[in-house]
Structure 1
Amino acid sequence: MAIATGDTRDRIMTVARLMVQDRGYGGLSFRDLASDVGIKSASIYHYFPTKGELGSALAARYTSDFLGYLDGLLADGLDQKTCIQKYTAVFGQTVRNENRMCLGGIMAAEFKELPEEVRIEVVKFGEANVGWLVKVLSLTQSGGGDAVKRQALAIFAAVEGAQLIARSRGDATIYDAIIETYRESALLP
């Protein structure tokens, strides 16, 4: 999986993201990362002096990129149902991509073992998802009060959970079946 072009910092982050989505934060090895990027292990420390700094940067970029995509859906004027379908499809695509997990979800599963700077970014990822879902749910529900926030949190938790179960079974079609069940039971609009 060696990547030989582009900015070294970006290459490190790209390969590290894929590693964490596959192995979890605990499975992120600077030695393996350096080998896959095609640099010496010591070179990673030039860009990221600690694993925590790398993990924090990964989670922050993932949140920013994901929120950019989600906000684009709203900017395109899509209706609530289409926004939610595209939201769940992104999580499904991740599990279809070599049985990987959402970076925020896999890091959340290791939350107690994460350095504080990584924990902060993982919490921000969850808050960003719930905040976006509140906006989408508010397209058809007035107020945006506690009930909408609880529903948004339930949707986020359910989608992350569906991805985790599908990954544990090594079968992305399980994710799709769970999401369809959520729609049938009205958890998802």
Structure 2
Amino acid sequence: MTKSSTQTEERLLDLAESLIRKNGYNGFSFRELAAGIGVKSSSVHYYFPTKADLGAKVARRYTDRFLIALEEAAPSKGPAASADDILTQLRLLFRKALTEDGKMCLCGVLAAEASGLPEEVTLETRSFFSRLAQWLENALARTRWGMGASAEERHKAALKALALFEGALLVARVHESTELFDLIEADPLEA
């Protein structure tokens, strides 16, 4: 692909991500994408033959970026890292979705629509949660808390944290209140 072609594809992915996070998977069309970046609808099909291809690539890219952001923001990698510090970094990344543009986590939106999504989009959405839970389990395993916890306890804590943060985004978004997200006090590390 040429530089111009790559830029067009990135602009399409950016706009699709924004529209999905705002309106859901079925809340946009290729025609809207084309108009949004100033190309013909057939150009969108050149990059993404189907909406499912586009949705899967958007979800995969979002997952990769989310995990990179977690790695970059992660506290120290050694056993001195606190489980609370790791959960705070995860919480702040979820909060950023809400505060930067008032939107949901992309894969949270897709998960809510999972029963009506094409299989490849559902698989990428599931991958987000699986990869994120695995990242969190691994990060927690390097903490004092995690070293004393079983693999099952770390797995449950990771799933509880993901459910807590995704749920808080839903409630905060519907009420248009970042403060509601900030009220999260529950501790996913508790039994």
CA distance in 2, matches of 1:47, 1:54: 8
Distance of aligned partners of 1:144 and 1:39 in 2 relative to their CA distance in 1, 3 Å threshold: farther
Amino acid at match of 2:174: S
How many residue pairs align between the two structures? 181
Distance apart, 1:135 and its partner CA: 1.6
Match of 1:166 in 2: 172
Structure 1 residue 188, shift from structure 2 partner: 5.5
- The AA in structure 2 aligned to 1:69 is A
Q: Which residue does the alignment assign to 1:187?
A: 188
Quote the Cα distance in structure 1 between the aligned partners of 2:120 and 2:5. 29
Q: Within 1, Cα distance between the matches of 2:150 and 2:59?
A: 27
Secondary structure of the residue that 1:7 maps to in structure 2?
A: helix
List per-residue Cα deviations over 1:37-61 (Å, max 9, x = no partner). Answer: 1111111000000000000000011
Report the equivalent of 2:24.
Answer: 24
Asked if structure 2 preserves the Cα contact closer than 8 Å seen for 1:73 and 1:83, the reply is: no
Residue 130 of structure 1 pairs with residue 133 of structure 2: yes
Q: 2:122 maps to what in 1?
A: 119
Alpha-carbon distance in structure 2 between the residues aligned to 1:75 and 1:167: 28
Q: Give distance in 1, aligned partners of 2:55 and 2:70.
A: 22
Match in the other structure for 2:159: 153
2:95 corresponds to which residue?
92
Structure 2 CA distance for aligned equivalents of residues 170 and 87 of structure 1: 21
Q: Deviations over 1:56-96 (max 9, x none)?
A: 00001111111112223448535432222121111111112
- 1:101 matched to 2:104? The reply is yes
Deviates more, 1:52-61 or 1:167-176: 167-176
Distance change in 2, residues 1:61/1:40 (3 Å): same
Residue 33 of structure 2 corresponds to residue 33 of structure 1: yes
Taking only the aligned residue pairs, the percentage that are identical comes to 33
Is 70-79 or 55-64 further displaced after alignment?
A: 70-79
In structure 2, stretches of 5+ residues that fail to align are none
Aligned-residue CA RMSD in angstroms? 2.1
Residue 6 of structure 1: how far off its partner (Å): 7.0
> In the superposition, relative to structure 1, how do residues 110 and 123 fare at CA in structure 2: closer, same or farther (>3 Å)?
same
User: Could you list the runs of 5+ residues in structure 1 that have no partner in the other structure?
Assistant: none
- Give the residue type in structure 2 aligned to 1:175: F
Task: Give the TM-score, by structure 1 length.
Answer: 0.88
Please state how far the C-alpha of 1:149 moved relative to its aligned partner.
0.5
Q: What is the CA–CA distance in structure 2 between the aligned matches of 1:128 and 1:71, rounded to whole Å? A: 13
The code of the aligned residue for 2:113 comes to: E
Secondary structure of the equivalent of 1:69?
helix
